[in-house]
Amino acid sequence: MNYFSLEFEIPLVSFIFIIILNINYFSKKRIQLIENKMYEIILIMSLIISSVDTFVHIIGAYNTLDIIYLKYFNIVELANKIMSIGFIIIFSCLFCYTYLISYNKEKYRKLFLSVISIDLILLIIMLFTHININEIGNVRNVSGSTIILGYFVVAIYILGTIILSLKNFKKKDKRFYAIFLILIMMTILYILSILIRGLIIYDLIIALLCYIMYFTIENPDIKLVNKLNLALINSSKLAQAQKELLISMSHEIRTPLNAIVGFSELIEESNTLKEAKENAHDIIEASDNLLKMVNNIVDISKINTDEMTINNKEYNLNKLIEEVISPFEYKIKEKNLKLIIKKNKLPQALIGDYIKIKRILFNILDNAVKYTNKGYVKLTVNTKIINNKCNIKFIIEDTGIGINNNIKNKLYNNFTRAEENINGNISGLGLGLPLTKNLVDLLKGSIKIESNENKGTKVIIVLKEKVGNKK
C-alpha cells in the first residue's frame, strides 16, 4: 500500500465532501433554532480545519519548502494551532448541542457563557504554546504542548457529551443515537490510524460528524415551515368558516322554518279554501328555500372533502332548460319581471352530468331573480358542434341591483353575499356562487361575471359536452 498517498488524498476527499455539505445546508433558508446555530458553527469550523489540513498536506506531499516567504514547518505549526482551536470549538459545540436536546433550552445561557469563556482562554494560551514536527520517513507527526492541551480539552468535551447522552439514551431520540454513532466511528478511525501509518483521521472524523448530524438534527428548511404555517392558517380559516356556517345556518334556516310553522297554523285557522291555498303556497316557497340551503351546504361539504363525483349520461338540453326555468315562473310573474329565453337549434342529445349542469343554471337564475326587482331576466343558450364535441355557452343577464365593486373579488368565497353591502332584506347563506364555481370547475368549464352596481349582472358559463346518438 502506498501510505504516502494517504497523506493528502484523504484530507482532500474529506475537504470536498465538507464543502458539498456546507453548500447544501447554507443554500436553503432555515429556521433559526439554537441547535441549528451549533451545527452551523460545526460546519464552518470543519470547513476551516479541512481546508487548512488539505493545504498543508498537499504542499508537504510535493516538498514545497517556501510559501510566501514562510518556511514549511512554520506553516505546519500555525496550521496545527488553528486546527487544535477548531477541534476544541467543534466538540464544545457538540457538547452544547447535546445539552440543548437534553434539557430545558431556557437554561442554556449560563452554560454557553462558560463554554465560550473557556474556549477564549484556551485560544489565548495556544497562541503561546509550542508544536514539535516529527518526520519518520515520508510520514510527519506533530506533538508538543499545543497538541496535548487540544487533546485534553477535546477529551473533556467528549466525556461530557457521553455522560449527557447516556443519561438521555432511554428517550429513544435519534439525535442521541447519532452522537453514539459519531463516537464509535471516532474510536474505529483512531484504531485504524495506529494500524496504518499515514492515515489522517482528523478530517474523516469531522466529515463523518457533519454528515451524521445533518440527517439527525432538527433541520427543517423555510419552505417546509411555510407549508406548515400555511396549513395552520388554512386550518384556522376552516374553523372560522365552520363557525360562520353555524351562525349563518342558525339565523337563515330559522326564517323558513318559522314561515312553515306560521303558515301551517294559518292553514289550520283558514275559513276558506282560497285562503288555505295561499298559505300553502307560502309554505311550499319557504320549504323550497330551506331545501336549497341544505342542498348547498351538503354539496359544498362534498366538494371540500373531494366526495363530489361526475355522473355522465345522455340528456336533452331543451328539456334541461325547461326544467330549470319552471321553478322561477311564479316568482318572476309575482315580481312583474319579464323572462326572455333565446336559444339556437339545440342538439337533442348530449352526454354530461345533467344534475350538476341543472344545478349550476338554477343557482345563477335564482340569484338573478332574487336580486332583480324590475326589468327582465334573460337566458341565452348558444351551441356549436365541432368534431362530435358541443361547446355550450349559457348567458344569464338581469337588470337587478348588480354587484358592489368592493366584493367582486370575494364572490366565490363561502358566505359572501352581495346584499351585505346593498340590501340586508334578502336571505341566504352566500353559498350559491361558490358552489356554482366549484361545479363549473369540476366539469372543466369556465364562468365569468360582469356586473356594475345598480346596472345589472351578466354571467357567462361555457361547458364542453359530448354529442349523443341523436342530433
Please say which residue of 220, 253, 278 terminates a domain: 220
* Structural domain harbouring 158: 3-220
Question: How far apart, in whole angstroms, are the C-alpha atoms of residue 419 and residue 410?
Answer: 13
Q: Is 433 exposed, middle or buried (0-12, 13-18, 19+ CB in 10 A)?
A: buried
Burial profile 395-425: b = 16 or more Cβ within 10 angstroms, e = fewer: bbbbbbbbbbeeeeeebeebbebbbeebeee
Is 90 exceeded by the pLDDT of residue 74?
no
Is 50 exceeded by the pLDDT of residue 424?
no
Q: How many domains does the chain have?
A: 2
13-27, 281-295, 357-371: which has the minimum mean pLDDT? 281-295
Please say which residue of 220, 243, 261 terminates a domain: 220
Task: Count the alpha carbons within 13 Å of 204 in the hemisphere toward its beta carbon.
Answer: 18
Look at 6 and 160; give whichever has higher pLDDT. 160
Is 70 exceeded by the pLDDT of residue 267?
yes
Q: Which of 125-134, 220-229, 404-413, 442-451 has the highest mean pLDDT?
A: 442-451
260 domain residue, yes or no: no
Q: Please state the rounded mean pLDDT for residues 408-416.
A: 59
Tell me the β-bridge partners of 376.
338
Q: Please state the rounded mean pLDDT for residues 23-27.
A: 86
Look at 45 and 30; give whichever has higher pLDDT. 45
Look at 419 and 212; give whichever has higher pLDDT. 212
Q: Please state the rounded mean pLDDT for residues 45-59.
A: 84
**Are 202 and 346 members of one domain?**
no
pLDDT, position 458: 92
- Where does the pLDDT of residue 380 fall: very low under 50, low under 70, confident under 90, or very high at 90 and above? very high
DSSP state of 410: G
Is 90 exceeded by the pLDDT of residue 395?
yes
Is 90 exceeded by the pLDDT of residue 83?
no
226 domain residue, yes or no: no
- Where does the pLDDT of residue 71 fall: very low under 50, low under 70, confident under 90, or very high at 90 and above? low
**Are 60 and 158 members of one domain?**
yes
**Are 193 and 320 members of one domain?**
no
pLDDT, position 69: 41
- Where does the pLDDT of residue 224 fall: very low under 50, low under 70, confident under 90, or very high at 90 and above? low
116 domain residue, yes or no: yes
**Are 181 and 313 members of one domain?**
no
Is 50 exceeded by the pLDDT of residue 2?
no
pLDDT, position 463: 92
Look at 403 and 301; give whichever has higher pLDDT. 403
Please say which residue of 193, 220, 247 terminates a domain: 220
**Are 87 and 211 members of one domain?**
yes
- Where does the pLDDT of residue 261 fall: very low under 50, low under 70, confident under 90, or very high at 90 and above? confident
286 domain residue, yes or no: no
Q: Please state the rounded mean pLDDT for residues 286-314.
A: 71
What CATH number is associated with residue 171?
A: 1.20.1070.10
282 domain residue, yes or no: no
**Are 201 and 327 members of one domain?**
no
- Where does the pLDDT of residue 342 fall: very low under 50, low under 70, confident under 90, or very high at 90 and above? very high
Is 60 exceeded by the pLDDT of residue 68?
no
Q: Please state the rounded mean pLDDT for residues 80-107.
A: 83
Is 90 exceeded by the pLDDT of residue 393?
yes
289 domain residue, yes or no: no
Is 80 exceeded by the pLDDT of residue 312?
yes
pTM above 0.85, yes or no: no
Q: What is the pLDDT of residues 353-373, one digit of tens each?
A: 888 898 889 888 988 888 898
* Residue the block writes with cell 315580481: 335
pLDDT, position 418: 39
pLDDT, position 376: 93
User: How high does pLDDT run on average in the chain?
Assistant: 77
Q: What are phi and psi of 245, to 5 degrees?
A: -60, -45
Alpha helices in 347-445 (DSSP H): 354-370, 432-442
33-47, 230-244, 452-466: which has the minimum mean pLDDT? 230-244
302 domain residue, yes or no: no
Q: Please state the rounded mean pLDDT for residues 170-184.
A: 77
The region, left, alpha or beta by phi > 0 then psi within -120 to 50, assigned to residue 240 is alpha
**Are 191 and 50 members of one domain?**
yes
What CATH number is associated with residue 360?
A: 3.30.565.10
DSSP state of 459: E
- Where does the pLDDT of residue 116 fall: very low under 50, low under 70, confident under 90, or very high at 90 and above? confident
299 domain residue, yes or no: no
